[in-house]
DNA sequence: GTCCTGGGTGGTACGGAGTACCGTACTAGG
DNA sequence: CCTAGTACGGTACTCCGTACCACCCAGGAC
């Protein structure tokens, strides 16, 4: 019997017991007994009782890292979308486990904490790659902050879409993700940092947008 | 001897031992003995060993909540700045403890997890108030996401400034905070959602900004 | 066949966190 | 002096996580 099967049995046993009795009321001995193995074997497969709730964290994190590493500055926006999509697809792959995990993380404080730690890992991953795409231009204070805010926004957008789907509010989460990531990158994207000569001023006018735009274009032409 | 003094002695004892021996190598018995109290008293003052590292979390969270609750939509930007400034000022008040805490959270995984959980509390606080300021307009998908992203960005900006100061890279953290929050709200601020008739187009020109702006103003005037 | 080696496993024992419970001292107020 | 309330210390318990050891079993060397 290969080791992966033992891991899978432990995960299945843990989710069965957690959803039935609750997280705190289930001991590691219970999980091991339910899976038909010893307590020591559990801790060989998972570093803690919390970790069994997020069994695919490390491999997904690695896949996201690989996707981001393969991108350059020009393909940044697409990389952000597809990297977050890797995570989303993994949740969509088996929705029952994802929903069970959602129910657990929303009710058990200890699991919320480890989930926060996991999301922090994603944020740092995105941040580092975004910073790598930015720094060729310059290394100002604002750039480090921009990288962090953008990374945070991407993760937040993903979580937002995922949560909506888990609650049944969304029909097409992949499309929602594309919209959300697009909305985020269009506001906090890298382009604004790239063109430092860009200046932003908000003006209001009673004139219609379609009327004004051609005139402004003409004004800036020469 | 009032109860607050016991708490303070426990915090001081904990930081002494944590910085000297490390977090894991220090037991709760050690902290209690160092503070001259029993082990039971420790758990009466703090719910866990980790919590003693963030003794002012709850009151600061309350103060931030109060500041945000007193703001309306029009004073939103100022409220975001001042609310985050409450947190910053509390760290600046005794920098030694803040630096010791920073050294601990960066090296001890368990403390990073609880810090993430604490920051999550701030994010949810900001998110709820921002959502309260937005929802009068409409309740679209994008608005919930905007509230979450903006809340996240504010917390990120604060953490960014705080971390720079803790590392000694910054001289005037209050000014940096104002800049960072300003940079964040100008990009992700509520105004864009408020004025739905606003449209954004990026145009490039060889002409200088100062030349163009008055002409554009004149163009939009009538 | 016997011997040896190494990976996966189960069992036992231990330290330490967190909880429940009880007894005690000190104080305030009648 | 008595009583009620409060803060404190001590003991015992469960459970997580780790260290250590003994076991089984496959497979190769001779």
Encoded tokens for A116: 């926060």
Minimum-distance nucleotide, CA of A39 to C1' = C10
CATH 1.10.357 assigned to A56-195: yes
Q: How far apart are CA B12 and CA B119, in angstroms?
A: 23
pLDDT in tens, A143-202: 889 999 999 999 999 999 999 999 988 889 999 999 999 988 888 877 654 545 555 565
Under 8 Å between Cβ of A146 and A152: no
Q: How far apart are CA A162 and CA A106, in angstroms?
A: 14
The reported pLDDT for the residue numbered A68 is 96
Q: How far apart are CA A128 and CA B125, in angstroms?
A: 27
Which of A117, A142, A222 lies closest to B113 in CB terms?
Answer: A117
> Residue A6, Cβ neighbours under 10 Å: how many?
17
pLDDT (average), residues B14-34: 97
pLDDT in tens, A18-47: 999 999 999 999 999 999 999 999 999 999
Under 8 Å between Cβ of B89 and B46: no
Whether B215 has a pLDDT exceeding 70, the answer reads yes
Q: Distance (Å) from CA A39 to C1' D14?
A: 16
Under 8 Å between Cβ of A160 and B148: yes
Q: Distance (Å) from CA B36 to C1' C27?
A: 21
Determine whether the interchain pair A191/B205 forms a contact, defined as Cβ–Cβ distance below 8 Å: no
Q: Where does residue A208 rank: exposed (0-12), middle (13-18), buried (19+ CB within 10 A)? A: exposed
* Collapsed DSSP state (helix, strand, coil) of residue B172: coil
Q: How far apart are CA A18 and CA A12, in angstroms?
A: 10
- Tell me which residue of B53, B85, B75 sits closest to B175, measured CA to CA: B85
A110 CB below 7 A from strand C atoms:
no
Compute the Cα dihedral for B18, B21, B22, B28 and give only its sign.
Answer: negative
**Residue range A6-52, CATH number:** 1.10.10.60
Q: Return the minimum-mean-pLDDT range out of A71-75, B111-115, B160-164.
A: A71-75
Average per-residue pLDDT for chain B: 88
Residues of A in contact with B141 (CB under 8 A): 164, 176
Query: What DSSP line would sit under B37-70, residue for residue?
Result: S-HHHHHHH-SSTTGGGSTTHHHHHHHHHHHHHT
| Domain extents in chain A | 6-52, 56-195
pLDDT (average), residues B188-193: 66
The reported pLDDT for the residue numbered A203 is 65
pLDDT in tens, A39-98: 999 999 999 999 999 999 999 999 999 999 999 888 999 999 999 999 999 999 989 999
B75 CB below 7 A from strand C atoms:
no
């Amino acid at each position: 019997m290969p080791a992966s099967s033992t891991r899978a049995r432990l995960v299945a046993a843990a989710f069965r017991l957690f959803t039935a009795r609750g997280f705190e009321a289930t001991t590691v001995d219970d999980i091991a007994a339910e899976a038909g193995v010893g307590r020591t074997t559990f801790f060989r497969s998972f570093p803690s009782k919390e970790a069994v709730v997020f069994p695919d964290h490390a491999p997904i994190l690695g896949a996201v890292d690989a996707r981001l590493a393969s991108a350059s500055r020009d393909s940044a926006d697409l990389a952000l979308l597809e990297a977050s999509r890797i995570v989303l697809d993994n949740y969509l792959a088996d929705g029952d486990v994802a929903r069970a995990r959602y129910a657990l993380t929303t009710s058990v404080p200890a699991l919320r904490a480890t989930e926060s730690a996991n999301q922090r890992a994603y944020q740092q991953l995105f941040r580092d790659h975004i910073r790598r795409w930015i720094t060729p231009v310059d290394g100002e204070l604002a750039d480090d902050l921009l990288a962090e805010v953008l990374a945070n926004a991407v993760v937040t957008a993903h979580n937002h879409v995922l949560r909506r789907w888990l609650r049944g509010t969304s029909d097409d989460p992949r499309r929602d993700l594309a919209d959300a990531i697009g909305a985020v990158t269009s506001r906090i994207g890298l382009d604004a940092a790239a063109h430092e000569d860009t200046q932003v001023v908000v003006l209001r006018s009673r004139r219609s947008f379609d009327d004004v735009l051609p005139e402004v274009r003409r004004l800036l032409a020469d």
